[in-house]
């Protein structure tokens, strides 16, 4: 019994990393947030003060949206933007609204029919408002058609067959795939290829990227997907947030290299792993 008590006392205390209770990664998360917020504040201030900040490189996928809507106008066929599984609170959905607003405004300006299909009834309500606002800003509120803002429950295969059905029936000349996708990515872009639509994908799920790369004309991947709003707005303040993100990427690369060197030099210490868990 005494031995057991001694052993219990000798056992190292479990570190409590949270500020009040045990939350793994709380401090490192706080530090990451503070660093990124600090960088963003610095670059936004620099942009507001009129100082020169690096510009965003050209993203052909985003520039191609104008070309795709123009092509649809010439062919007299609609433009369609689809998103299946991202919900109201997902960051992908906020990115989606950037694409939706831009593409709907272009479609309204060119007097081209715009179809939106989503898998979330809550997102549908916001999508409708975003598209309506885009038509209003383009000076064509009368052209907004609520029936073209469509919802279908997000169950994977029924949604896919519904979406493929719309593609085959309505034959959109331009297709935009935005957000996170799963197995349906193997079917839908191929259905788009069959009707020879120009296809642009902005995909956040790395596992499904190959399907989009094989079938689409332009693919925005990884961080590019979220840069749409900043890129399309061309506002220096928004660009500042992207520059801050790139600075954080450099910092992350430095940590990765440092971590690799430390782990090679002292494999047993796990210094970097513990630091990141802090």
Partner 1 sequence: MLRREVPAVLTTVMAIFVFLSAMLFPLEEMKILARTDSLLQFMGNMALFLGGINLFRLHSRNIKKKREYWPFSLWLLAVFVFFTVLGIVKGNNDPLYKGLYDALIVPVNASMHSISAFFLCSAAFKAFRIKNLDSIVLMISAVWVMLASVPIGEIISPNVGIVKDWLLAVPGSAVARAMANGLFLAGFAATLRIFLGLERRHLGQ
SS3 13: coil
Task: Give, in order, the Cα–Cα distances in Å from 203 to each of 138, 172, 210, 226.
Answer: 28, 20, 10, 10
Smaller CB separation from partner 1, 15 or 210: 210
Q: Which of residues 131-150 bind partner 1 (CB under 8 A)?
A: 133
The whole-angstrom separation of Cα 232 and Cα 239 is: 10
Decide: is 38 part of the binding site for partner 1 (CB under 8 A): no
Helix axes 26-48, 236-265, angle to 10 degrees: 140
Which position among 49, 206, 264, 267 is part of the footprint of partner 1 (CB under 8 A)? Answer: 206
Minimum distance of partner 1 from residue 19's CB (angstroms): 5
Which position among 187, 195, 262, 272 is part of the footprint of partner 1 (CB under 8 A)? Answer: 187
Backbone angles phi, psi at 159, to 5 degrees: -60, -45
Residue 18 carries which DSSP code? Answer: S
Stretch that binds partner 1, among 49-57, 59-67, 111-119, 123-131 (CB under 8 A): 123-131
Pure H helices in 138-187: 156-170
The secondary structure of 199-240 as a DSSP string is EEEEE--GGGHHHHHHH-SEEEEGGGGGGHHHHHH--HHHHH
Decide: is 23 part of the binding site for partner 1 (CB under 8 A): yes
Binding site for partner 1 (CB under 8 A): 18-23, 26, 29-30, 32-33, 36-37, 40, 44, 88, 91, 94-95, 97-98, 100-101, 121-122, 125-126, 129-130, 133, 151, 155-158, 160-161, 183-184, 186-187, 189-191, 193, 204, 206, 210-211, 213-215, 221-227, 229-230, 237-238, 241-242, 244-245, 248-249, 252
């Amino acid at each position: 019994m005494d031995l057991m008590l001694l052993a219990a006392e000798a056992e190292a205390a479990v570190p409590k990393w949270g500020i009040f209770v045990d939350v793994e990664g709380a401090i490192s998360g706080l530090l990451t947030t503070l660093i990124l917020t600090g960088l963003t504040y610095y670059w936004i201030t620099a942009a507001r003060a009129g100082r020169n900040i690096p510009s965003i490189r050209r993203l052909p996928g985003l520039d191609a949206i104008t070309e795709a809507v123009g092509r649809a106008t010439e062919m007299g066929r609609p433009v369609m933007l689809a998103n299946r599984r991202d919900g109201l609170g997902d960051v992908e959905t906020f990115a989606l609204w950037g694409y939706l607003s831009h593409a709907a405004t272009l479609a309204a300006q060119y007097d081209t029919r715009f179809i939106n299909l989503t898998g979330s009834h809550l997102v549908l309500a916001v999508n409708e408002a975003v598209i309506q606002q885009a038509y209003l800003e383009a000076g064509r509120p009368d052209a907004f058609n609520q029936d073209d803002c469509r919802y279908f429950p997000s169950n994977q295969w029924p949604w896919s067959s519904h979406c493929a059905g719309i593609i085959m029936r309505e034959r959109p000349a331009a297709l935009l795939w935005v957000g996170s996708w799963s197995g349906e990515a193997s079917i839908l872009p191929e259905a788009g290829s069959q009707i020879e639509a120009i296809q642009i994908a902005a995909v956040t799920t790395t596992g499904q990227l190959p399907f989009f790369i094989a079938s689409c004309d332009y693919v925005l991947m990884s961080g590019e997907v979220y840069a749409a709003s900043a890129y399309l707005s061309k506002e220096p303040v928004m660009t500042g947030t992207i520059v801050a993100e790139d600075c954080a990427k450099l910092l992350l690369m430095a940590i990765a290299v440092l971590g690799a060197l430390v782990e090679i030099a002292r494999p047993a210490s796990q210094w970097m792993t513990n630091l990141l868990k802090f």
